[in-house]
């Protein structure tokens, strides 16, 4: 392990942090050069580490390329720019400005006191609908998890039309056989390859890597599990509110339900920019990145999965059903009131999920949900998150793999939203044990929940099993069990129990199995 004290006489590259490194700051040597980090309360951190070349100019809409070497020690004391995205004020999942296309960096937290054996590695993939977010947010600071004797990595990846896009002009000039469109996913794979090649220098075990992510990050995890190019780069997976039944959209040719392919969607967007009938690839690469943000891209909900034929070759649920996913331990789950504010008749990608319900199914659903009000409040969450999580857990277990299902139902007393349950993304501060980054005040009850979740997650990363001495037993998914069980995280602590609202999820499963195209829809 090449870790030493910083020598004060060296010159540093890229030092925007107003607090310069101390004379005893930690130094790590990786393949590209030296990194000078920071040490705080038993944890060493190294930030803004480039894992791929800046995807700018001729590298825009190209697969990630290798990083150039640096000759002088590089200051890794502060996070780098976030990737280009629409800014959402108050979003705790987005790190500080500036914003730049030159954003392909990652951050590492590692215990200061190294143990005799390499530590498990946890690689976080942030959410944000594949259109916003960053690995640089304070919410995702890895200090608390690293104190549990693990190495934590967070990363940025290309978003929106810079990360998930194609156009006929780009296809014309593309080298034969080069992967396209899924640039954000290619970035994540490149980051995992960086971890494989470099994490040992930080005390991490490249043979024990857990990928975990929330929302779009959770969806990215399931895609990694079925991606041919990601196999062997990780050994455990955690999916937090990561959908699972989204339909794939091909790179070219007709999409599902007669929708446009990714390439034709790109053409339609560019046609609206007034660049002429046949803009060149160079014209597109010369566009100001801000021009690609309006109108905002929609890659989440409905049919967001890009089937490019190389990085992703089939729908996630199809691969899981055939047993073609990575054969690794999996934690998967959702929150108790994911999208409580989304009405199934709203004009959103989520609003179309129930459009194929038959008249008889409408009656059965409304009865199961206790009437129209209950249906409107919960059916989108069940369609998009809860039933797909159960379905993937079942398929993974049936294929002989360890699968652990959870439901998060912790609600802080000060949370201003209606307390019908835990809203989408509210579990993140608990998983990272970063309650100070919460959007609302928390108390001792919340800290107990954070201790429990961080404990289960880090034990899982270490051994592929979240259970441990002194913690309530989390039952593995057993499809033959009656009833099936999960771990519910509650305000009073974790509780193993039968899957709540299984009758509703059974209706959703039957509906999903039956439908291939819209035929009706409930209009209560």
By DSSP bridging, strand 3-5 and strand 38-40 are: unpaired
Length of the chain: 524
User: What are the residues facing 164 on neighbouring strands?
Assistant: 182
Cis upstream peptide for 295 (omega within 30°): yes
Q: Look at phi and psi of residue 388 and say left if phi exceeds 0, alpha if psi is from -120 to 50, else beta.
A: alpha
Check 44, 214, 246, 338 and give the catalytic one.
338
Q: What HEC string does 396-419 produce?
A: HHHCCCCEEEEEEECCCCCCCCCC
What helix, strand, coil percent values describe the chain, rounded to 5?
Answer: 30, 20, 50
* Residue 379 to residue 304: CA distance in whole angstroms: 20
* Residue 217 to residue 127: CA distance in whole angstroms: 4
Check 78, 215, 227, 378 and give the catalytic one.
215
- Of 368, 392, 428, give the one whose Cα is nearest residue 93: 428
By DSSP bridging, strand 119-125 and strand 151-155 are: parallel
Residue 235 bears catalytic tag = no
Residue 336 bears catalytic tag = no
CB 223 within 8 A of CB 279: no
List, as own/partner pairs, every contact residues 399-403 make where C-beta atoms lie below 8 angstroms and the sequence separation is at least 24, other chains included: 399/320, 399/323, 399/325, 399/327, 400/327, 401/325, 401/327, 401/328, 401/329, 401/330, 402/329, 402/330, 402/464, 402/465, 402/476, 403/329, 403/330, 403/331, 403/332, 403/476, 403/477
Q: What are phi and psi of 512, to 5 degrees?
A: -65, -40
- Of 320, 150, 337, give the one whose Cα is nearest residue 227: 320
CB 289 within 8 A of CB 159: no
* Residue 183 to residue 190: CA distance in whole angstroms: 10
* Residue 224 to residue 133: CA distance in whole angstroms: 19
By DSSP bridging, strand 181-182 and strand 164-165 are: antiparallel
Helical axes 372-381 vs 359-368, angle rounded to 10°? 100
Q: How far is residue 282 CA from its own chain's centroid?
A: 31
Residue 424 bears catalytic tag = yes
Q: How far is residue 158 CA from its own chain's centroid?
A: 13
From residue 126, give the alpha-carbon distance in Å to each of 137, 477, 495: 9, 26, 27
Check 235, 391, 424, 484 and give the catalytic one.
424
CB 303 within 8 A of CB 259: yes
Residues annotated catalytic, as ranges: 215, 338, 424
């Amino acid at each position: 392990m090449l870790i030493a004290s910083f020598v004060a006489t060296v010159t540093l590259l890229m030092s925007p942090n107003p607090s310069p490194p101390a004379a005893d700051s930690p130094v790590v040597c990786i393949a590209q050069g030296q990194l000078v980090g920071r040490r705080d309360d038993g944890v060493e951190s190294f930030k803004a580490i480039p894992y791929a070349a800046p995807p700018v100019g001729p590298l825009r809409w190209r697969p990630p390329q290798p990083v150039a070497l640096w000759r002088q020690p590089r200051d890794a004391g502060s996070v780098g720019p976030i990737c280009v995205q629409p800014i959402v004020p108050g979003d705790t999942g987005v790190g500080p400005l500036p914003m730049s296309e030159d954003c392909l960096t990652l951050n590492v937290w590692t215990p200061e006191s190294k143990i005799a054996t390499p530590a498990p590695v946890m690689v976080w993939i942030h959410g944000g609908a594949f259109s916003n977010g960053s690995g640089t947010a304070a919410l995702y600071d890895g200090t608390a998890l690293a104190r549990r004797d693990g190495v934590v990595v967070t990363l940025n990846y290309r978003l929106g039309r810079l990360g998930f896009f194609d156009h006929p002009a780009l296809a014309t000039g593309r080298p034969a056989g080069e992967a396209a469109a899924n640039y954000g996913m290619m970035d994540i794979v490149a980051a995992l390859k960086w971890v494989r090649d470099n994490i040992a220098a930080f005390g991490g075990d490249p043979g024990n890597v857990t990928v975990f992510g929330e929302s779009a990050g959770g969806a990215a995890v399931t895609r990694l599990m079925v991606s041919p190019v990601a196999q062997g780069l990780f050994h455990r997976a955690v999916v937090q509110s990561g959908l699972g039944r989204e339909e794939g959209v091909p790179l070219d040719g007709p999409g599902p339900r007669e929708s446009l392919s990714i390439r034709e969607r790109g053409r339609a967007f560019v046609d609206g920019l007034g660049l002429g009938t046949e803009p060149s690839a160079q014209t597109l690469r010369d566009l100001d990145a801000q021009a690609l943000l309006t109108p905002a891209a929609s890659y989440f909900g409905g049919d967001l999965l890009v089937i490019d034929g190389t990085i992703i070759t089939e729908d996630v649920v199809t691969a899981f059903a055939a047993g073609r996913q990575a054969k690794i331990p999996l934690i998967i789950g959702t929150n108790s009131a994911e999208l409580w504010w989304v009405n199934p008749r709203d004009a959103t990608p989520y609003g179309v999920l129930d459009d194929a319900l038959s008249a008889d199914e409408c009656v059965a659903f409304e009865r199961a949900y206790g009437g129209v009000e209950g249906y409107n409040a919960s059916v989108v969450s069940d369609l998009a998150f809860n039933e797909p999580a159960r379905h993937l857990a079942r398929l993974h277990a049936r294929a002989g793999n360890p699968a652990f299902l959870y439901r998060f139902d912790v609600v802080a007393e000060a949370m201003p939203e209606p307390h019908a349950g835990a809203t989408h993304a509210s579990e993140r501060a608990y998983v990272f044990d970063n309650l100070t980054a919460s959007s609302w005040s928390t108390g001792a009850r919340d800290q107990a929940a954070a201790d429990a979740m961080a404990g289960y997650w880090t034990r899982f990363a270490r051994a592929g099993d979240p259970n441990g001495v002194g913690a309530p037993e989390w039952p593995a998914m057993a499809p033959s069990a009656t009833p099936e069980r999960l771990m519910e995280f509650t305000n009073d602590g974790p509780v193993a129990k039968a899957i709540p609202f299984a009758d509703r999820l059974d209706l959703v499963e039957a509906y999903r199995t039956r439908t291939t195209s819209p035929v009706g829809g409930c209009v209560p």
